[in-house]
């Protein structure tokens, strides 16, 4: 029994030691976890310079009162072409389809021009007749030359001499009339698209070559095919439109102005157009016309805003919001339009709280102009907002959100 006493003491001591360790493990405080604010970006001064970040103080600025209304994107009626054939025929090849973008001079449709075939036949007949008439003219000229020699030696009578002179004049007149008729038919062929070189080749030294009666219609300018009513094999005529081509590099936005607001708008003033497809982006335009008639149902007049659309992002029939500055002005807290960004569908700006810290602020917006956007809520006068390089801060915030997720 005595020999087990030391072993028992060791077991008791070890049990007590493990109990103490377990107790301490339960009561030891957890290490603090460092948290990162997802709405704050930290950038050193050097990093700010590399990113081109510039901040400026928020202050009230003069902003013109604006008339807010809605409108629809429409084609500029001066930039639309209705493509019709010059004569009756059958479509051989349609090179474009609805919605295609085309360049100026691009082939649109090739068709068998029935009238062109008839005119080509007439042209060949006239050219052949001209050859014959010129031969007769040369014969008459030679006959008159001989008569001129014979009259000097009194070998022919004066009457015979005058007769040969008249024959020569008649032959020259016939050639002149044939040439005039030929030129008239040639002009008609050129209107059909037959080139001058092809006309000349029809009566070259090797004789006439048969020409096809196919006509090709080319785009008068670059644009988009907005209507197509033909296909290969379709019978077409000069009173039937084949294609409609619209140049949408510049579009109209037809805005509805209520009767009571007509006194606030003036032609020649600027306007600002926005669409839901491109939030926080403003398309500048110019108000060129206000309709002289009122819609009796809505009591509105159409105001035509001409807007440049070189990249074609504004689509026809798009619904648009239109702001038309009036002559009345007011002072409002605003930030530069370049300072405005969008994150997760929310308008934000970045406020510089100290030398290296930038805070993302959600904003409630008011009136926009081409340079400024009014801030109703989100920032205060005197704070510094990032006016250049805000997209870099937006990318930094988004990278932080992805990393945390």
In a domain, 124, yes or no: yes
SS3 state at 55: strand
pLDDT at 203: 52
User: Based on the domain organization, do 100 and 223 belong to the same domain?
Assistant: yes
Same-domain status, 97 and 229: yes
Same domain for 196 and 335?
A: no
The region of weakest confidence among 316-320, 366-370, 394-398 is: 366-370
Q: Establish if 5 belongs to a structural domain.
A: no
Query: Would the pTM count as exceeding 0.75?
Result: no
Domain residue limits at 184: 113-214
Tell me: do 208 and 220 sit in the same domain. Answer: no
300-332 per-residue burial string, b: 16 or more CB within 10 A, e: under 16 = bbbbbbbbebeeeebeeebebbbbbbeeeeeeb
Residue 370 lies in a domain: yes
Q: Are 198 and 232 in a shared domain? A: no
How many domains are there within the chain? 3
Within this chain, do residues 97 and 121 fall inside the same structural domain, yes or no?
no
CATH code of residue 94: 2.40.50.100
User: What average pLDDT is seen over the chain?
Assistant: 82
Residues 265 and 348 both lie in one domain: yes
Residues 88 and 147 in one domain: no
The average pLDDT across 330-343 equals 88
- For residue 216, the cross-strand partners are 110
Assess whether pLDDT exceeds 50 at residue 28: no
> How does pLDDT run across 175-220, given as a tens digit for each residue?
888 888 888 888 877 777 676 666 666 654 333 334 467 788 899 9
* CA 187 to chain CA centroid, nearest Å: 35
- 272 and 367 in a single domain? The answer is yes
Q: Is residue 18 part of a domain?
A: no
Asked, for residue 60, whether it belongs to a domain, the answer is yes
Residues 280 and 387 in one domain: yes
End-to-end C-alpha distance for the chain, whole angstroms: 65
In a domain, 22, yes or no: no
For 350, the 3-state DSSP assignment is strand
* Position 255 in a domain: no
On whether both 88 and 184 belong to a single domain, the answer is no
Residue 7 lies in a domain: no
Is the four-CA dihedral 16, 17, 18, 20 of positive or negative sign?
positive
Q: Are residues 94 and 239 in the same domain?
A: yes
């Amino acid at each position: 029994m005595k020999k087990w006493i030391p072993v028992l003491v060791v077991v008791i001591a070890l049990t007590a030691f493990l109990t103490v360790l377990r107790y301490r493990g339960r009561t030891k405080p957890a290490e603090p976890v460092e948290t990162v604010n997802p709405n704050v970006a930290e950038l050193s001064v050097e990093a700010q310079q590399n990113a081109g970040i510039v901040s400026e103080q928020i202050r009230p600025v003069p902003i013109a009162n604006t008339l807010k209304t809605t409108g629809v994107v429409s084609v500029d009626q001066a930039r639309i072409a209705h493509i019709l054939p010059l004569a009756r025929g059958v479509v051989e090849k349609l090179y474009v389809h609805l919605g295609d973008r085309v360049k100026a001079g691009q082939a649109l449709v090739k068709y068998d021009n029935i009238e062109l075939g008839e005119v080509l036949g007439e042209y060949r007949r006239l050219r052949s007749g001209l050859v014959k008439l010129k031969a007769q003219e040369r014969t008459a000229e030679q006959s008159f030359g001989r008569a001129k020699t014979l009259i000097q030696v009194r070998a022919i009578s004066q009457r015979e001499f005058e007769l040969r002179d008249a024959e020569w004049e008649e032959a020259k007149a016939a050639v002149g009339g044939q040439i005039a008729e030929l030129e008239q038919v040639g002009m008609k062929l050129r209107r059909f698209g037959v080139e001058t070189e092809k006309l000349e080749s029809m009566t070259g030294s090797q004789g006439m070559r048969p020409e096809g009666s196919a006509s090709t219609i080319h785009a008068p300018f670059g644009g988009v095919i907005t209507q197509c009513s033909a296909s290969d094999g379709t019978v077409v005529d000069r009173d039937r439109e084949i294609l409609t081509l619209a140049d949408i590099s510049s579009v109209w936005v037809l805005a509805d102005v209520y009767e009571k607001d007509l006194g606030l708008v003036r032609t020649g003033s600027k306007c600002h157009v926005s669409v839901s497809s491109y939030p926080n982006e403003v398309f500048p335009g110019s108000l060129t016309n206000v309709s002289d008639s009122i819609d009796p149902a809505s009591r509105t007049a159409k105001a035509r805003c001409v807007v440049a659309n070189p990249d074609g992002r504004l689509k026809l029939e798009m619904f648009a919001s239109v702001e038309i500055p009036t002559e009345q002005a007011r002072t409002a807290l605003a930030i530069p339009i370049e300072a405005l960004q969008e994150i997760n569908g929310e308008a934000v700006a970045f406020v510089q709280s100290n030398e290296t810290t930038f805070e993302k602020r959600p904003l409630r917006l008011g009136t926009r102009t081409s340079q400024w956007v009014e801030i109703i809520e989100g920032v205060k006068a005197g704070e510094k907002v990032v006016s250049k390089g805000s997209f870099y801060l937006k990318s930094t915030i988004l990278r932080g959100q992805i990393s945390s997720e």
